[in-house]
Amino acid sequence: MIFILQKTLIFTIPLLIVALAGMFAERSGIINIALDGIMIFGAFIGAVVAFNLRKNVPFFVDHNQLLFIVCMLAAALAGALFSLLLSYSAIKFRANQTIGGTALNLLAPAIALFLIKVFTSKDQMEMGMAVDSAGGRHDFSFVIANNNLPDILKIFFDKTYISTFVCIILFIVLSIFMYKTKTGLRIRACGENPQAADSVGINVHKMRYLGTTISGALAGLGGYVYIATVANGTASGAVAGMGFLALAIMIFGNWNPTGIALGSLMFGFLKCLSVVYSQFAFTKNLGLPMYFYNIIPYLAVLIVLAFSAGKSRAPKAEGIPYDKGQR
């Protein structure tokens, strides 16, 4: 059981942080369908940084967890910069946000794969293991591995990646930021009624840039965390549709952090079932194929939505370019 919960946490974290990313953009009024693309871009830059620092800077080989943090920062920065392409077109040129997002979803794998193939002649790039000065080999292993803890604590403090703590803290801090600070309130106002926000002196364009940039940083970070913890440290120009799943979880979670947390936990748990089902006598004896367990999380979302229908409420002004003349 503990094993399942540990695995669940690993699947949940990237979804959690990327769904929050989606929330930041959409609450500010910009539809961010580019989450998947930004994840891919962040993952790619993170992997490039990891690969090069391991190769050229011995310090980081010895301080592996520090390198992990540096790479996460690089991925977040890359995601933030990449998302500017979306916010610039959507805010400055009032471009259709679905088109901009789709373009980013196409652009990210194209850039990543183009450069990976030019420099490595392969279709994917592995961050690889590093050999430290003492001769030990490292991948991004667990920051804490402690088998002597009581069960409950084991979930969080045994076989845990450092990214798990970073993301959970970020999630809590940013949720508080969104709901308990002046800036957070302003961002939300721009997603609901930008005209009213403007009339009381809030710079709608600035708030939308802020929301989308935070969104980009989180999605980039989430993309790197995904490849470092779930996808064997390989950047391949795809994140198995995780960005779209996160988008779905954001809608599922009704554009608020509590809903997103519950949604990604549920999804993470069901998703990890498809990985661990073969290790339990009960599920193994059922004799159902892997595909069945793969379908469960998606089917569960459909069923929950069917029963909770009508309560969903998107930010009112999302997707509509702000035009001062329409006040």
If the CB atoms of residues 48 and 85 are measured against other proteins, the closer one turns out to be 85
If the CB atoms of residues 65 and 274 are measured against other proteins, the closer one turns out to be 274
* Residue 57 dihedral angles phi and psi, to the nearest 5°: -120, 100
Shortest spacing between CB 320 and other proteins, in angstroms: 14
If the CB atoms of residues 79 and 184 are measured against other proteins, the closer one turns out to be 79
Tokens found for residue 236: 């391949």
Burial class (CB in 10 A: 0-12, 13-18, 19+), 63: middle
Which residue intervals of 88-202 are DSSP H helices? Answer: 97-120, 151-157, 162-180, 182-192, 194-199
If the CB atoms of residues 75 and 113 are measured against other proteins, the closer one turns out to be 113
Shortest spacing between CB 12 and other proteins, in angstroms: 17
Shortest spacing between CB 111 and other proteins, in angstroms: 6
Shortest spacing between CB 216 and other proteins, in angstroms: 15
If the CB atoms of residues 173 and 290 are measured against other proteins, the closer one turns out to be 290
Shortest spacing between CB 190 and other proteins, in angstroms: 20
If the CB atoms of residues 12 and 64 are measured against other proteins, the closer one turns out to be 12
Angle made by CA atoms 151, 18, 64, in degrees to the nearest 5: 60
If the CB atoms of residues 214 and 247 are measured against other proteins, the closer one turns out to be 247
Shortest spacing between CB 311 and other proteins, in angstroms: 10
- How many other CB atoms are there within 10 angstroms of residue 128's CB atom? 15
If the CB atoms of residues 187 and 250 are measured against other proteins, the closer one turns out to be 250
Shortest spacing between CB 121 and other proteins, in angstroms: 9
| Whole-number Cα distances in Å, 263 to 8, 251, 253 | 12, 9, 6
Shortest spacing between CB 161 and other proteins, in angstroms: 23
Tokens found for residue 292: 């069945």
Contact in structure between 86 and 211 (CB atoms under 8 Å): no
Residue 205's closest CA among 220, 186, 218, 224? 186
Determine the residue type at 307.
Answer: F
* Cα 32 to Cα 38: distance, rounded to the nearest angstrom: 10
Tell me which residues touch other proteins (CB under 8 A): 33, 85, 89, 93-96, 98-100, 102-107, 109-111, 113-114, 117-118, 238, 240-241, 244-245, 247-248, 251-252, 289-292, 294-295, 298-299, 301-302, 305-306, 309-310, 312, 314
Burial class (CB in 10 A: 0-12, 13-18, 19+), 111: middle
One DSSP character per residue, 24-64 reads HHHHTT---TTHHHHHHHHHHHHHHHHHHHHHH-HHHHH-H
Cα-Cα-Cα-Cα dihedral sign, residues 118, 121, 126, 129: negative
